[in-house]
A and B are shown apart, each in its own frame.
Chain A
């Protein structure tokens, strides 16, 4: 390899990279907000006995789980405006597509968690005079969150990485900035390596935290 490293340009464009990181983190947080809340509602809906509720939800979940995130993103960006005659920014479409993708995966995590909650808790809730809403909010949701937490975090950090796809629809995230700088400066190795390291620096501690959290929750919920 006959390549002379030159970190000057990367150093100079670090502020731009961090601007990109900020956009990436915003996308991640919004997508996770959708994924955590909507995912739980979908999981609850999936427990319904009414087919009119479970069927559309099943189609939604399987569609998002069985197609590439990239096509979902691009489809939202190019097709939604035509079908619904609206124009939303790539940033917003990115959040929507990533959020719905995450919600589909999280719904499965919640569903497994809810099914792991002993049915006797439901009986105890009735005996304590809690109505269905109070039971869901104070008994089911907190336990489902705790049980599903390791998977939810893993999914959430997955979306942090997947969010790099939004660069393709011109959202100025970390990936977008990295590619832009690398072509502008002809320094792909320095720039793209730096970008990769930034993604790694955020993801790695979180994925390490998951196993710790897993141990803690196991202990808390042991009966």
Chain B
């Protein structure tokens, strides 16, 4: 069984259907980047994996263990213990503004995992050091730049030792000059061997960080391949159209 397996995922918003039997596999050594036109369900897919969306059918498993099973409205089964192994960073800043950087990092470990305050603090400082944010530990989110906020959000997710990280367009809301620092942080994390699923519109970054790129359209995987193949020699007509559009290549 693959590290991550999504089988027969069904997701609908009322009459609008996003997925009708969506399958995807990912290995623990993979960094999977999802690309595709907006509205094709990339973000929804990550949200389903995080357990943020009610799914009407299908199963999602991590490390060989199924943790989300879809069912009719309100009856979705979710295994909170395995769900906790998944970390996620969002497009919009989600740092809690009433807590300092350190407070943001320590909240979940101390409140939901029973970690001792001093230990959480040490761990937080270690992470902030690694991200070059140690001098911002006592700052409040409103005193940080957008790039710093997103890096703190990444550190906050890492506090919980996730086995899989989900990144949902984490640089889309940033000013262009701040994108790099966040992407570099993600690249560091990738180099350290963290399995990731990434939704991004930055094709250059996608090509650099991915081990596998999935092109998705209307709730279906159109093409999945290593980045050099998918960007260098796309097999499907729709993939070519999409890349031509986003990369502004003529011909």
A residues near B (Cβ < 8 Å) are: 118, 120-121, 123-124, 126-131, 134, 138-139, 142-143, 146, 219-223
Contacts and interface: CB of A to CB of B under 8 A. Distances in A.
Interface residues of B, number: 29
B157 A143 contact: no
Interface stretch (B8-16, B87-95, B211-219, B239-247): B87-95
B204 interface: no
B97 A128 contact: no
Contacts, number: 71
B112 A222 contact: no
Given A123-B52, A223-B97, A223-B141, 13 more contacts: A118-B94, A123-B47, A123-B88, A124-B94, A124-B153, A126-B52, A127-B88, A128-B107, A128-B112, A143-B98, A220-B142, A222-B97, A222-B142
B98 A146 contact: yes
B92 A128 contact: no
Q: Which of B80, B87, B98 has the most A CB atoms < 10 Å from its CB?
A: B98
Given A220-B142, A223-B141, A129 B94 contact: no
A121 B80 CA distance: 19
Give 5 closest A-B pairs by Cβ, nearest first.
A124-B94, A128-B108, A127-B88, A129-B84, A142-B98
Given A128-B112, A129-B112, A222-B142, A143 B51 contact: no
Contacts of A121: 94, 96
B42 to A, nearest CB: 16
B67 interface: no
A48 to B, nearest CB: 15
B111 interface: yes
Given A138-B107, A146-B98, A127 B50 contact: yes
B131 interface: no
A123 to B, nearest CB: 5
Contacts of A222: 97, 142
A70 B13 CA distance: 50
A220 B140 contact: yes
B151 interface: no
Contact of B90 (A120, A134, A146): A120
B68 to A, nearest CB: 13
Contacts of A220: 97-98, 140, 142
A128 B160 contact: yes
Contacts of A127: 50, 52, 86-88, 90, 157
A129 B157 CA distance: 10
